[in-house]
Amino acid sequence: MKLECLRAIEENVHVYASGGELFARVPLKESLTEDTNAGRLILTGVRKVLLALQSNTSDKVYEAVIVREDNFNYDGRGREFIYLCLSSQCVQELKLKEGALIDVEIQFQMDRLFFCRMHYAVDLLTNEGTVFPDVPKINPLRNEKHTLKVR
């Protein structure tokens, strides 16, 4: 996947990288929407990615954060792209400059806290039947009365 290095995000607002960091615009192969399982997962449960150069012979992997409302006061997740913030260490070691196009492998990292909250909510349930009903007991098809007659 090719990503483009940027000094600033200039969309609806202007967000500038600081402290030796750069932004990276990552094009997506599929649209990022809540309507798809992958889109919903990325929009709700991913805050960071791991990236490595595709031509990299070393095992060096860098972590980058997704530009979001809570960390940059701008949501950098569009339908066809995602903005990442590359750390100054990543920029220095890979010798990245503004406007550079680099081939990388990206792995989205699930936010563990998201799943911990969901499990905690289930653990607090006093009546598990609300979430995990006893299906044989409440089979709606057996309780229905059919009045249709075939002649």
pLDDT in tens, 99-134: 999 999 999 999 888 788 888 988 888 887 777 777
Q: Does residue 140 lie within any of the structural domains?
A: no
Whether residue 62 contacts residue 53, with contact meaning beta carbons closer than 8 Å, is answered with no
Helix axes 37-45, 112-123, angle to 10 degrees: 90
Q: Does residue 141 lie within any of the structural domains?
A: no
Please state, in angstroms and rounded to a whole number, the distance separating the CA atoms of residues 2 and 89: 20
Structural domain of 92: 2-130
Q: Does residue 135 lie within any of the structural domains?
A: no
Q: Does residue 15 lie within any of the structural domains?
A: yes
Three-state secondary-structure class, residue 71: helix
| The amino acid at 107 | Q
Q: What is the pLDDT of residue 79?
A: 87
Please state, in angstroms and rounded to a whole number, the distance separating the CA atoms of residues 6 and 86: 10
Total domain count for the chain? 1
| The amino acid at 77 | R
**Entry pTM:** 0.75
Cα 68 from chain centre: 10
Q: Does residue 20 lie within any of the structural domains?
A: yes
Structure tokens at 16: 């500038």
Sign of the CA dihedral 40, 41, 44, 46?
A: negative
Q: Does residue 12 lie within any of the structural domains?
A: yes
Q: What is the pLDDT of residues 47-102, one digit of tens each?
A: 999 999 998 777 899 999 999 999 999 999 988 899 999 999 999 999 999 999 99
Q: Does residue 47 lie within any of the structural domains?
A: yes
Q: Does residue 145 lie within any of the structural domains?
A: no
Please state, in angstroms and rounded to a whole number, the distance separating the CA atoms of residues 105 and 50: 8
